[in-house]
Amino acid sequence: MLIAPAPHAPRLTRLVTGQDHLGNDTDIAVVEERPLTIFLNAQEIVTAMTIGDYPEYLAIGFLRNQGMIADDDEITGISYDEELETVVVRTAAQTDYEDKLLKKTRTSGCAVGTVFGDMMEGLEGVVLPHLEIKTSALYALAREINTTPSLYLEAGAIHGTVLCQGETPLVYMEDVGRHNAVDKIAGWMFQNKFDPADKLLYTTGRLTSEMVIKTAMMGIPALASRSGFTAWGVDIAREVGLTLIGRMRGNRFVCLSGAKRLIRDIDPATVKDEPKKARRKGSHD
pLDDT given at position 267: 96
Contact 14, 54 (CB under 8 A): no
Query: Would you tell me how many other CB atoms lie within 10 Å of the CB of residue 146?
Result: 22
Distance CA 59, CA 48 (A): 9
pLDDT value for 42: 87
- CA 65 vs. chain centroid, Å, equals 11
Burial status of residue 122 (CB atoms within 10 A of its CB: 0-12, 13-18, 19 or more): middle
Sign of CA dihedral 229, 183, 213, 101: positive
Per-residue pLDDT of the chain (285 residues), as tens digits, is 999 999 989 889 999 999 999 999 999 999 999 999 999 998 888 999 999 999 999 999 999 988 888 888 899 999 999 999 999 999 998 776 655 665 554 444 444 444 545 566 677 788 899 999 999 999 999 999 999 999 988 888 899 999 999 999 999 999 998 899 999 999 999 999 999 999 999 999 999 998 999 999 999 999 999 999 999 999 999 999 999 999 999 899 999 999 999 999 999 999 987 766 554 444 444
Strand partners for 105: 115
Q: pLDDT value at position 155?
A: 85
Cα 156 to Cα 84: distance, rounded to the nearest angstrom? 27
Residue 230 confidence (pLDDT): 96
Cβ atoms within 10 A of the Cβ of 112, count? Answer: 29
What CATH class does 133-279 carry? alpha beta
> What is residue 160's predicted lDDT score, i.e. its pLDDT?
94
Q: For residue 79, what pLDDT is reported?
A: 97
